[in-house]
Amino acid sequence: MINNQEELRQTANLLAARGKGLLAVDESTPTIGKRLAGINVENTEENRQAYRGMLFTAEGIGEYISGVILFEETLYQNHLDGETMVSKINKLGIIPGIKVDKGLSPLAGGHEVETWCRGLEGLAERTAEYYKQGARFAKWRAVLQITADGCPTDLAIRENAWGLARYAKICQESGLVPIIEPEILMDGDHTIEKTAEVQEKVLVEVYKACSENNVFLEGTLLKPSMTVSGTDNSNKAGSEEVAKMTVRTMNRCVPAAVPGIMFLSGGLTEEDASVYLNTMNSIEHKSATSLTFSYGRALQQSCLQAWKGSDIEAGQKALMARCQANSESSTGDYVAGSQPSSQDTLFEAGYKY
C-alpha cells in the first residue's frame, strides 16, 4: 500500500498533468439555479441530474480534463441510466473532487463586504466519507475583495488564510488533495498593480499558514484568480499585461513544491479566460509548476446555451470545444478564436458560489 503522502503527491500530479485542467461544476443549488434559469430550465434535482449527467458522458473529454469538482449532491447521485455519476466520471479517465466549504458568512470585526468561509466543524468526518464515496480531491473557496477604503483588511486576510490551511491539512489526513482557493474578486475600479500588491500579501499569508499547519505542499494545488484590473477600472490591462503580472505574482509567492496552479475564471468571458491563460503559457516563466485552468463559468456558458435543457449532443460539443481550447491554452498552443465561445459577460458583482 502506498503511503498517504505518496498518494497525495500522485493525485496532485495527475490533476496538474500537462495539457489538462479542471472542470468546476460544484455550484451550490441556488447558483446552478441561476444558470438553469438563464436557459429557462427549472432548478429541480432531475434537471440538475440531466445537465450534469450530460457533462459527465461527453466522450473524449478526459483528454483535456483531469478532474471535476462536484457539489455534494452530485457525488451521491446516479445518472439517469442508474450508474453513479462517480462511475461515469471515472470511466472518462477523470478524477472526481468535492467542494467541502459551507459558504461565506459576514466577518465580524471586518469591513461590511468581508467574509469568512464556513465548514471546518465536522470536516474530518465528512472528508473521510467523501473519500469512501470516490472523491480524491477537494475545494474550499475563500473570498477577498479590494475596496477603496482599505479592504482586504489584515483581519480578513489572516482569517481566510488560516481557514484554507486548516481545511488543507484536514483534507490531507483523509487522502484528499486540497485545492486552496483564495479568490480575489474583480469587483472595483482598482488598477492591476493594486491587485498584484494585494494578491502577493494574501498568497504569502496563505503559505505561511500552510507551513504553520504542516500542510504537505506537494499534495496541494492552488486555485487563484488571475492578476487583473478591477472590472470598473477605465484603463483595463490587456492580455499581455495580465499574463505578465499574473506570472510575476505566482513566481514571487507560490512555493515551487506546489505542482499546479489552476486558475479560476472569476467572471472573465470564455474567450478571455482562454486567451489570458494561453498568453501566460507563451511567455517565459521560471517555475516548473503548471499554469492551467479550473473554470466554472468559462467552461459551461456556451455548453448550457447549446444544451438548452435537452440537446445533449449540442451541449457536449460546445463543452468539448471550450475544454480543448483551454487545454491548448495550458500549453501555450491556443489560437484565439479557433474554437466557438459565448460572448456573454460572466461577471457578477459580489459573486457567491
Closest residue to ligand 13P in the complex (CB): 296
267, 346 in Cβ contact below 8 A? Answer: yes
Pick the catalytic residue: 181, 183, 271, 328?
181
Is there a catalytic annotation at residue 181?
yes
| CB closer to ligand 13P, 24 vs 210 | 24
Termini Cα distance of the chain: 37
For the bound state, the minimum distance from the C-beta of residue 22 to ligand 13P, rounded and expressed in Å, comes to: 8
Pairing of strands 104-106, 115-117: antiparallel
Residues 6+ apart with CB under 8 A from 30: 352
For the bound state, the minimum distance from the C-beta of residue 25 to ligand 13P, rounded and expressed in Å, comes to: 9
For the bound state, the minimum distance from the C-beta of residue 198 to ligand 13P, rounded and expressed in Å, comes to: 18
Pick the catalytic residue: 205, 223, 271, 328?
223
Q: Which residues of 268-295 are buried (b: 16+ CB within 10 A; e: fewer)?
A: bbbbbbbbbbbbbbbeebeeebbbbbbb
Question: Which phi-psi region, left, alpha or beta, contains residue 60 (left: φ > 0; alpha: ψ -120 to 50)?
Answer: left
C-alpha cell at 56: 459527465
Is there a catalytic annotation at residue 223?
yes
| CB closer to ligand 13P, 260 vs 296 | 296
Say whether 279 sits in a helix, a strand or coil: helix
| CB closer to ligand 13P, 3 vs 343 | 343
| CB closer to ligand 13P, 162 vs 353 | 353
Q: Rounded to an integer, what distance in angstroms lies between the CA atom of residue 272 and that of residue 267?
A: 10
Residues lying near ligand 13P in the complex (CB under 6 A) are found at 24, 141, 181, 264-266, 295-298, 353
Q: Rounded to an integer, what distance in angstroms lies between the CA atom of residue 231 and that of residue 224?
A: 17
For the bound state, the minimum distance from the C-beta of residue 353 to ligand 13P, rounded and expressed in Å, comes to: 5
Q: Active-site residue numbers?
A: 181, 223
